[in-house]
Structure 1
Amino acid sequence: MNSGAEDGVRIGLSAVVMTLKARQAVVLTTPAEDGARALPFGPFDPLRDRTFERALRDFVTAQTGFRLGFVEQLYTFGDAGRASPRATPGPERRREVSVGYLALTPDAAEGEVHDARWDAVFDYFPWEDRRQPADPALAEHLKAWAGRDEARLTRVRSLFALTAENRWDEERVLERYELLYEARLAPEAWRDAGQPAPPALPGRPMASDHRRILATALGRLRSKLKYRPVLFDLTPGVFTLSQLQAGAEAVSGLSLHKQNFRRGVERTGLVEPTGRMSSTTGGRPAELFRFKGVDAQTGAAPGLSLPAQR
């Protein structure tokens, strides 16, 4: 595939780099020209770059000083009319298609590097943290937007669990963000229409279509928690079970039942005691555990159940 000069398309690569810091899920961001935060982002040059992933690794390190470990491809984003992503600078203003990647790390390097920093994921999606009381104003704005349109009302009630019949599905992060965009409750919807956004819209905006990409990544990560041991890609080498639960809560946005969570961890056989105790918990010393890894013969390693408090 060529660079896109003939068909007016350029390929860009976006990286969602996530870890846990101070019991919060955080994402690596860089400054954008408009003052918003952005995901690490760079163009793919088919004449210079051998693979997408190699190009991604190089520009993330150049922009943030951070070296990526394991990465996986998320999705290709290229909807017209959504600044998805932004048009390229210069007279050609080519449409840009972005390939998003998810990277997980247990290492949140301290301090800012090259103006990069770790931001709390829920700063961008406050409604996704179900451990906090739901914002009644958001529900009212959504119902006002839906009006008497039954299809809209059904979507609002289902996605935001506004009635007892609707269960909150933590994996539907992107659908909720898309609904807010459609309802013009996302600043990016006003920006993409060339209009000033009203104040106090929920969540911090991001440059280009990067909040949409981040929503996709968070939904993917929440889903993977249940069938792959990805939580251990975010945690240090040794941990207490309380720290492991805090990490699961930070990603899922759910308050988990302590005893049921611990029983679930024990059933998986994913962890083993180290024989050491932690004295940094602020209370009684707690036993330290480590991740045992995948089964060497079968490669099997289950995820973790998320028993939410009722």
Structure 2
Amino acid sequence: MTIGSDAPHVTLLRHDRDTPTFEESHHSLQKRLCHWAETLTHCSIGYMEQLYTFSSFPVQGQTPHIHITYLALSPDHPLSCHGSLYHHFPWEDRRNESGTRQLAQFIAAIKHWAAGHDERQSRIAPAFGLDDLPWDDTRVLERYELLWESGLVPRSAPSPEATEEDDRRLLATALSRLRARIRYSPAVFDLLPKAFTLLQLQQAMETLSGRFMHKPNFRRLVLHQQLVEETGTYERAAAGRPARLYRFRPAAMASCYLGAAFLPLETPSWLIMY
């Protein structure tokens, strides 16, 4: 996964189609897969973890296929890419009016679907932030599965960037995991170049979460936690005052808590839906 100009971007690799080259120096499956992915995409991978194990039934009554999936983060953008995650889940991007309006329409429809069903209502409330519950960015998979169960979205997003039937569920799982990780780990820094501005860091967090953040409060939080340090250099901008460049402090690896960054949001008037 990488960060595009306005959305997280993803490239799906399948070992049954592109046989990985395993070397004796790679003593673990994860290291072998990391090397294979870097070779295929020509991108450096800063972080990789096992994401989930899926099972599928090719033909009813036959033994299911087991799929072990991994999530890899890279600051580089591969030449071959399956595109924006917000193409598959536009309602998860609450920074623009179109995505927010679609979410509002889904909420109205899924409330109708759950009406008179206590079990359904108990599931949609935390997933969609209803009944005075807060909106939780990390519940991407729950929202997608409820929208699919209610018949509001199909398994695969209609697109020239076609994906397989289960890929949308896999992508929802990946986005859920990544949104959770950026709250308590330095995962966002694996998606940035080694030197970056504080604005680029904030924009990366906003892109991944699909939400706006309050600029002064975000900067105060990052600097107070001493997550970054100055490089002594400046970004070369075409116009205006050059911005300081920072880098992540490895010493802050265990104390990276950016969850509070999601509290002081700047809220445009069209973002208020219900």
TM-score (norm 2): 0.79
Q: Tell whether the 8 Å contact from 2:43 to 2:77 is kept in structure 1 after alignment.
A: no
Q: Tell whether the 8 Å contact from 2:43 to 2:74 is kept in structure 1 after alignment.
A: no
How many angstroms apart in 2 are the aligned matches of 1:118 and 1:137? 27
Q: What residue is the counterpart of 1:11 in the other structure?
A: none
The answer to whether 1:41 aligns with 2:18 is no
Over the residues paired in the alignment, what is the CA RMSD in angstroms?
3.1
Deviation at 1:107, TM superposition (A): 1.0
Cα displacement string for residues 156-199 of structure 1 (whole angstroms, at most 9, x for unaligned residues): 23312245x121001111111111121122312xx8xxxxxxxx
For structure 1, the residue ranges without an aligned partner over 5 or more in a row are 1-17, 29-38, 79-83, 192-199
- The percentage of aligned residue pairs carrying the same residue is 38
Q: How does 1:16-165 map to 2 (within 5 A)?
A: 18-28=1-11, 39-43=12-16, 52-53=29-30, 56-57=33-34, 60=37, 64=41, 66=43, 68-78=45-55, 84=56, 87=58, 95-109=64-78, 112=79, 116-133=80-97, 134=100, 135=102, 136-163=104-131, 165=132
Deviation at 1:94, TM superposition (A): 5.0
Cα displacement string for residues 124-180 of structure 1 (whole angstroms, at most 9, x for unaligned residues): 1111112224223222321232232132133223312245x1210011111111111
- Specify the code of the residue in structure 1 equivalent to 2:51: L
- Specify the code of the residue in structure 1 equivalent to 2:177: R
Deviation at 1:27, TM superposition (A): 1.0
CA separation of 1:153 and 1:228: change in aligned 2, threshold 3 A: same
- Specify the code of the residue in structure 2 equivalent to 1:70: Y
Q: Tell whether the 8 Å contact from 1:186 to 1:205 is kept in structure 2 after alignment.
A: no
Larger strand fraction of residues: 1
- Specify the code of the residue in structure 2 equivalent to 1:249: E
Deviation at 1:66, TM superposition (A): 4.7
CA separation of 1:58 and 1:228: change in aligned 2, threshold 3 A: closer
CA separation of 1:242 and 1:25: change in aligned 2, threshold 3 A: same
Q: Which moved more, 1:165-174 or 1:280-289?
A: 280-289
Cα displacement string for residues 92-120 of structure 1 (whole angstroms, at most 9, x for unaligned residues): 975211111110111114xx3xxx32511
- Specify the code of the residue in structure 2 equivalent to 1:303: Y
How many angstroms apart in 2 are the aligned matches of 1:77 and 1:281? 48
Equivalent position to 2:139, from 161, 164, 172? 172
Deviation at 1:77, TM superposition (A): 1.2
Equivalent pairs counted in the alignment come to: 252
Q: Could you say what secondary structure the match of 1:42 adopts?
A: coil
Q: What residue is the counterpart of 1:184 in the other structure?
A: 151
Q: Tell whether the 8 Å contact from 1:224 to 1:303 is kept in structure 2 after alignment.
A: no
Q: Could you say what secondary structure the match of 1:117 adopts?
A: coil
The answer to whether 1:292 aligns with 2:265 is no
- Specify the code of the residue in structure 1 equivalent to 2:137: E
For structure 2, the residue ranges without an aligned partner over 5 or more in a row are 268-274
How many angstroms apart in 2 are the aligned matches of 1:175 and 1:260? 30
How many angstroms apart in 2 are the aligned matches of 1:154 and 1:124? 25
Larger helix fraction of residues: 2
